[in-house]
Amino acid sequence: MNMKIRTYAQQMDVKLWEIAEKLGMQDSNFSKKLRRELNADETARIMTVIDELAREKRGEDNG
């Protein structure tokens, strides 16, 4: 489920627990959330978070 999110996170070297933390969720709840397909808006929001986390890891500014 939600392989697009999982694959993208892996490609960007972002862990699922990091995404959960950024979203203000427990990592277990985020993993459960990914068991069902998300709507396009929610998927886009998570992809944006992945991009932000990847930039932070590379030391780039968010602004």
Tokens of 28: 């277990």
Residue 62 has pLDDT above 60, yes or no: no
| Average confidence score pLDDT of the chain | 93
Q: Is residue 40 assigned to a domain? A: yes
Q: Is residue 24 assigned to a domain? A: yes
Query: Do the Cβ atoms of 37 and 26 come closer than 8 Å?
Result: no
Residue 19 has pLDDT above 60, yes or no: yes
User: What domain count does the chain have?
Assistant: 1
pLDDT of residue 63: 52
Task: Show the DSSP H helices in 1-63 as ranges.
Answer: 3-11, 16-23, 27-33, 40-58
Q: What residues make up the domain containing 21?
A: 3-56
Q: Is residue 25 assigned to a domain? A: yes
Q: Is residue 48 assigned to a domain? A: yes
Question: Considering Cα of 17, then 21, then 22, then 23, what sign does the dihedral take?
Answer: positive
Residue 60 has pLDDT above 90, yes or no: no
Residue 21 has pLDDT above 60, yes or no: yes
Q: Is residue 23 assigned to a domain? A: yes
Q: Is residue 15 assigned to a domain? A: yes
pLDDT of residue 1: 76
Query: Do the Cβ atoms of 52 and 62 come closer than 8 Å?
Result: yes
pLDDT of residue 54: 97
